[in-house]
A and B are shown apart, each in its own frame.
Chain A
Amino acid sequence: MKIKVLGSGCTNCKTLEKRTIEALAALSITAEIEKVTEYADIATYGIMRTPGLVIDGKVVVQGYVPTVEKLQEIIQTPLV
């Protein structure tokens, strides 16, 4: 599983990264987490609100920080 946290380094982006790590730990899933901080790179994902979360190339969260529980749900949802 490849996870990308999209955001320029604002508080919300850091919280999202922290909660994602917590959610992964709670599920005992190991994943590669990458931070995307360049606006030009973030824009290629077609999102207009940060922070964003991308799992295996698909945008699953944009513009808000889900709770750890909600993130666990999102991570476990099979990608279509």
Chain B
Amino acid sequence: MITHATIRLTIITAIMKQLSAANKFSMVVLLLPVWIALYLSLDRLTRVIVYSFLSMPEDEHLTRAVYFFIFEVPKVLLLLTLIVFVVGIIRTYFSPEKTRAALEGKPLFVGNVMASSLGIVTPFCSCSAIPLFLGFVEAGIPLGVTFSFLIAAPMINEVAIVLLFGLFGWETALLYVIMGLIIAVTSGWVIGRLKLERYVEEWVYKIRSQHAPVEEQPLTLTDRIDHGWDAVKDVVGKVWLYIMIGIAVGAGVHGYVPENFMAGIMGKDVWWSVPLSVVIGIPMYSNAAGIIPIVQALLGKGASLGTALAFMMSVIGLSLPEMIILKKVLKIQLIAAFAGIVGIGIMIVGFIFNAVY
């Protein structure tokens, strides 16, 4: 399976390199039906592999676990490839520079809403968080608006959305996006109202870029397709192993952990499970791709949706490495305020969901 996927990726990369512009476009159009056919036949293929080829008995723990793994891994990887490709192309129409220009001079609340929404589509990597922060500050964008962007950008990302969609269904994925947006908007707004500018390192406000802004090269459709494909190689290459491990553990949980096992720890009647999930989630960052499948499996064992949602939001949205990076430009008080406000926002979401469902 592993080598198969890697080989396929290498072959397609080689083909893509050789193709001319028009051909690249038709290649994408041709690959789409192949993708759909594969996706639709996953269920049947899994049956054939598990029951006929491996001739495993129905309704046994091991069979259930193996079935889950063989079905979910290709499904999630297929979804991930398509979504990351499409998002990669959409992102070529956005850039931090354009986002900055759109946010300049916007009042607090409107700015927070725009910054959170643009945070989803603007190309962003946590390694660029500081240059982006400095660029926003220099343009005079309010601190609260900048934070709305910095909260939404990592929290609402395509990998999380794909995993939630693939494993939980579209309702949960949508719920996650909406809750993420609300948290980003309100947290940024609160940070803006608290006037925490004095907790930004002084040197940040002294920066004046001495160079004219970099002009952007006009992109052709081929360039955009290339960017989409690069995003697939980059993202899928980075997370496939975590996803496989996560689904393998999830498969084990599905097959072997008794029903209601989690009710006492992550159930909705345990009030402290929400804050505890948020706290545990902060240091777990790079494993976001692997954690969602495990959480999904736990949901079937008595864990409640609110607690699970809070845990995932904390894992994905509040990351210790990012806070350490931000320490270069922010004083500890502001980082604490940021983590505290976002953490409280996530807890409120968790409590509401536990109360409603």
Chain A positions near chain B (C-beta within 8 angstroms): 8, 10, 12, 39-40, 42-50, 57, 59, 62-64
Question: Which of B203-229 touch A at CB < 8 Å?
Answer: 203, 207-214
Instruction: Name, among B97, B132, B214, B230, the residue most crowded by chain A CB atoms within 10 Å (CB to CB).
Output: B214
Question: Which of B120-173 touch A at CB < 8 Å?
Answer: 123, 125, 127-128, 130-132, 134-135, 138
Chain B residue nearest to A60 (CB atoms) is B214
Instruction: Name, among A42, A49, A59, the residue most crowded by chain B CB atoms within 10 Å (CB to CB).
Output: A49
Contact: B207 with A40, CB < 8 Å? Answer: yes
Tell me whether A62 and B214 are in contact in the complex, defined as CB-CB below 8 angstroms, given that A48-B97, A48-B128, A48-B132 are known contacts. Answer: yes
Contact: A39 with B131, CB < 8 Å? Answer: yes
Chain B positions near chain A (C-beta within 8 angstroms): 96-97, 100, 123, 125, 127-128, 130-132, 134-135, 138, 203, 207-214, 230, 328-329
CB < 8 Å: which of A10, A45, A50, A63 contacts B211? A45
What 7 A-B pairs come out closest when comparing CB atoms? Answer: A46-B209, A48-B135, A48-B96, A10-B127, A43-B134, A59-B214, A48-B132
- B130 cross-chain contacts in A, Cβ below 8 A: 8, 39
Chain B residue nearest to A57 (CB atoms) is B211
Q: Is the interface of A mostly helix, strand, loop or mixed?
A: loop
Other A-B contacts than A10-B127, A48-B128, A49-B132, 19 sampled, CB-CB below 8 A, are A8-B127, A8-B130, A39-B131, A39-B328, A40-B134, A40-B207, A42-B131, A43-B134, A43-B135, A43-B209, A44-B207, A44-B211, A45-B210, A49-B123, A50-B131, A57-B211, A59-B211, A63-B123, A64-B230
B230 CB, min distance to chain A CBs, angstroms: 8
- A64 cross-chain contacts in B, Cβ below 8 A: 230
B145 CB, min distance to chain A CBs, angstroms: 15
Chain A residue nearest to B206 (CB atoms) is A40
Tell me whether A47 and B127 are in contact in the complex, defined as CB-CB below 8 angstroms, given that A40-B203, A40-B207, A59-B214 are known contacts. Answer: no
- B134 cross-chain contacts in A, Cβ below 8 A: 39-40, 43, 48
Chain B residue nearest to A10 (CB atoms) is B127
Query: With the chains together, A48 CA to B128 CA distance in Å?
Result: 7
